[in-house]
A = this chain, B = another copy of it.
Amino acid sequence: MSSFNGTERKPDRLEAFSDAVFAIAITLPVVELHAPQPEEGDLAAGYMKLAPEYAAYALSVILIGLYWAHSHFSGKLLQKTDHGYNLLSIGFLAAVSITPFPARPLVEHLAGDPESRTAALVYLGVAAAPATWWFARWLFATARALPDPRLTDAYLRRLTIKYGVTAGAFWAAFILAFWGWQAALVAAGFVTLSYVVPPAEPAYKPGL
């Protein structure tokens, strides 16, 4: 272990901590789900009325789940972590953990009413935060040579561009929402769902 300097460690413990926070963040919105109360008569109607809760839960699971899947992938790319990377990871994880929070108002106002724009703005702002932390953390990691040294520079640069574009797209959607909240949500949805596509195969330097 002493081959790493200072606060540097293999990424496995940070990954374990991240995975635990992700696991809680993705499961905690279940607490917001309610069953129809016994005193209400019509159970089917009771479940129907709760539909926005389920939709908000599904939205949160998709967003956090995609972040986890890419976090899982990017863990393969790091050789080590250090104190600064850990602190940026805390920021990222805290930002991810609160994304379920404005999902409910968003779903409530999705049909279009005077509050729809506000609901979309808050959601997009909150959703842009983890993308921004992620990008900042990646810039820090490459500046501190934390990734696997066998990865090619071109591959690292490609990821830098990808993460920068993602964060930028979320903020662009946020600004766009002042004029057209529906278009902004569609744009942010496209960016998010683009992460369903598997990330590009890591490129290693020849002869290693």
A binding-site residues for B, Cβ under 8 Å: 1-2, 5-7, 9, 13-17, 19-28, 30-31, 33, 35-36, 38, 41-44, 47, 57-58, 61, 65-66, 68-69, 72-73, 75-76, 82-84, 86-87, 90-91, 93-94, 97-98, 100-102, 104-105, 108-109, 115, 118-119, 122, 150, 196, 198-202, 204
Q: Tell me if B198 and A82 are in contact (CB < 8 A).
A: yes
Give complex CA distance A20, B28 in Å. Answer: 12
Residues from chain B with Cβ under 8 Å of A13 in the complex:
15, 19, 72, 75
Copies in the complex: 4
Q: Tell me if A7 and B97 are in contact (CB < 8 A).
A: no
Residues from chain B with Cβ under 8 Å of A22 in the complex:
17, 20
